[in-house]
Amino acid sequence: MASMCCYRPDGARARLAFHLQPGSYNDQLLIGVLGQLRRFLHGEKATLLWDGLPSHRSRPMRAFVASQRGWLVAERLPGYAPELNPVEGVWANRKGQAFATYAADTLDDLIGHARQGIGRVRRRPQLLFAFLDRTGLSL
């Protein structure tokens, strides 16, 4: 699952974007996710805060991000700094709430449960602002 906390620069709104797919992500899949993010944001400009995942810094990804400068900027977080990444709050919330005692019988059950948990976060945008506040970063 890939997830992005999206904040308006004026702080008026926060939204959660996410993508589910079986298996792991690579740079080509993440490039596709960024295309979906652009549609999710209706073409608005975005700044990504990225950790050190190899797919985030691969040659194809760097070329893609460079080709998208009209709407997309990527800023790298320090090598290991989950405390600076608001989306880590999403994962902590989901692990502590939705998945704390959940044991799925099938992958479809797990995906459905993940979607329900993401839906709960989406309905409470104040959580996204709390995740940002926890990082000490501001808009």
pLDDT at residue 97 in the model:
65
Degrees (nearest 5) of the Cα angle 59, 60, 66? 90
What kind of fold does domain 2-135 have according to CATH? Nucleotidyltransferase; domain 5 (3.30.420)
Quote the tokens at residue 61: 């990804």
pLDDT at residue 50 in the model:
86
**DSSP structural state of residue 78:** P
User: Measured in whole angstroms, how far is the alpha carbon of residue 103 from the centre of its chain?
Assistant: 24
Q: What pLDDT tens digit does each residue of the chain (139 aa) get? A: 888 899 998 989 999 998 988 888 898 999 999 999 999 999 899 988 888 778 888 999 999 999 999 999 988 888 778 888 888 888 887 777 666 677 888 888 888 888 888 888 889 889 999 999 999 988 8
pLDDT at residue 63 in the model:
95
